[in-house]
Chain A
Amino acid sequence: GENVEQHPSTLSVQEGDSAVIKCTYSDSASNYFPWYKQELGKGPQLIIDIRSNVGEKKDQRIAVTLNKTAKHFSLHITETQPEDSAVYFCAASTHAGGTSYGKLTFGQGTILTVHP
């Protein structure tokens, strides 16, 4: 099955700096890669996603890049703000093997702290 590794486990930055979180996946059939933000006591919330036919996607201060050859993808947050502080999860999903309905395999999470 799919295995997703996420690094770093914790990330501390100053307000205004950029933050980068990296994930690798094992199943070359994976073709959908969402990123979720989880605040304390809440469920994960989708912040950006990318499909395997695209190498990069940007939404305001957030961008995701995908390298299918190397099987890794990254989340980039620019001009970080204290309200960006949360746990961030990457995930991978595949159409192969009967999981066409979108079962997600998550990384272990990154605790991002943005200091004012």
Chain B
Amino acid sequence: GAGVSQSPRYKVAKRGQDVALRCDPISGHVSLFWYQQALGQGPEFLTYFQNEAQLDKSGLPSDRFFAERPEGSVSTLKIQRTQQEDSAVYLCASSFLPRDLGGTEAFFGQGTRLTVV
């Protein structure tokens, strides 16, 4: 596709339920980021992949959060035993190259709005 695609757009989960959020980056993009955006706030970094390697997961808030990108393209962010504080928009972004190899612009998807009730 032409841009970063995320699915589902909206997800309502009952507290304690597991959820999986999908990101289809722009074809050929090496770098993939996940960000969490709470209501009225700026996005906050969760994790980074370079191809299939997860190089940074320092932003994941707890061990209930897990991300993977097994073939270096599609990525999934999984949240186990969801809690109300997990309610947020989850944004995926991709860029052609890492910045230290000359990459610049990160393209964001529309996000998945997760509501935990």
Query: Which residues of A are at the interface with B, using a C-beta cutoff of 8 A?
Result: 4, 6, 32, 34, 36, 41-46, 49, 89, 91, 93, 95, 98-109
The stretch of B60-68, B70-78, B79-87, B99-107 in contact with A is: B99-107
**CA–CA, A101 and B31, complex, Å:** 8
Chain B residues with Cβ under 8 A from A100's Cβ?
98-100
Which bucket holds chain B's interface residue count? 20 to 34
Does B91 contact A103, Cβ atoms closer than 8 Å? no
CB neighbours (8 Å) of B98 from chain A are 100-102
B18 within 8 Å of A by Cβ? no
A92 to chain B, nearest CB (A): 11
B32 CB to closest chain A CB, in angstroms? 10
Which residues in B have their C-beta under 8 angstroms from that of A107?
Answer: 42
Contact yes or no, B95 A102, CB < 8 A: yes
B residues near A (Cβ < 8 Å) are: 4, 31, 33, 35, 40-45, 48, 50, 55-56, 91, 93, 95, 98-100, 103-111
The 6 nearest A-B residue pairs measured at CB: A106-B42, A43-B108, A100-B100, A102-B99, A101-B98, A44-B108
Output the residue of A32, A44, A45, A107 with the most chain B CB within 10 A.
A44
Q: Is the CB of B45 within 8 A of A101?
A: no
Please state if B106 and A46 are interface contacts (CB–CB under 8 Å).
yes
- Beta-carbon contact of B41 and A109 below 8 Å: yes
Given contacts A101-B50, A101-B100, A102-B106, contact A109 B55 (CB under 8 A): no
Residue of B45, B50, B55, B91 touching A44 (CB-CB under 8 A): B91
Extra A-B contacts (19), CB below 8 Å, given A43-B93, A101-B48, A101-B99: A34-B106, A41-B110, A42-B110, A43-B91, A43-B110, A44-B43, A46-B107, A93-B99, A98-B56, A101-B50, A101-B56, A102-B31, A102-B104, A103-B45, A103-B56, A104-B43, A104-B45, A106-B42, A106-B43
Q: Which residues of B contact A36 (CB under 8 A)?
A: 108
